[in-house]
Amino acid sequence: MSNPILIDPLKFAREGRVLTGKMPVSALDERVHSDLSDTSGTVEYTVEGFRDGSSRLSLRLRVNADVMVSCQRCLEAMPYQVATDVVVTLFTRQEKLDEAVELDETLDAILALEELDVVAMIEDEIIMGLPHSTKHDECGSEALTRAKADKPNPFAVLATLKISKS
């Protein structure tokens, strides 16, 4: 079990609070680790409380996680970035929740209990954000793929400009 980060969801949303943090992937629950090739990497998250356009208390959760998954072809590890951004609408009564979901099937609604574990929400988001099947562009050339994905260093670009001018 991972260490929970507990918030009172209704109070959090009512007061428009924001919670930002970072944790190692290794601190997450085993149910996340079982989908990964190893437990290296970092998770960054932001939870924001607010009222939506219909004045309903809501939470927005953004998660960015750099994880390692297994390539389905060569079974070697490959980096993968999970980036999710969800809004959860809070309800205090099941009937209201059911009613709202019936009107809007895309609504992500939960019954707000006194305590909500932010870490468990983050874990759910990562599990849902993981791809079903990932493959290297070219197995065995991971270093090459990574180098290509890297953004050019702006100083390196400047240096090249200077050289070509002289």
Q: Which residues bind Zn ion (CB under 5 A)?
A: 71, 73-74, 136, 139
CB of 72 to Zn ion, least distance (A): 8
Element (H, E) at 46: strand 42-51
Nearer to Zn ion, 39 or 145 (CB): 145
Nearer to Zn ion, 37 or 58 (CB): 37
**∠ CA 27-43-150 to the nearest 5 degrees?**
135
CB 58 within 8 A of CB 51: yes
CB of 93 to Zn ion, least distance (A): 50
CB of 120 to Zn ion, least distance (A): 32
The rounded radius of gyration (Å) of the Cα atoms in the chain is 21
Nearer to Zn ion, 16 or 131 (CB): 131
Q: Give the integer Cα–Cα distance in Å for 102 and 106.
A: 9
CB 18 within 8 A of CB 45: no
Nearer to Zn ion, 60 or 73 (CB): 73
CB of 30 to Zn ion, least distance (A): 25
* Tokens found for residue 36: 């990964």
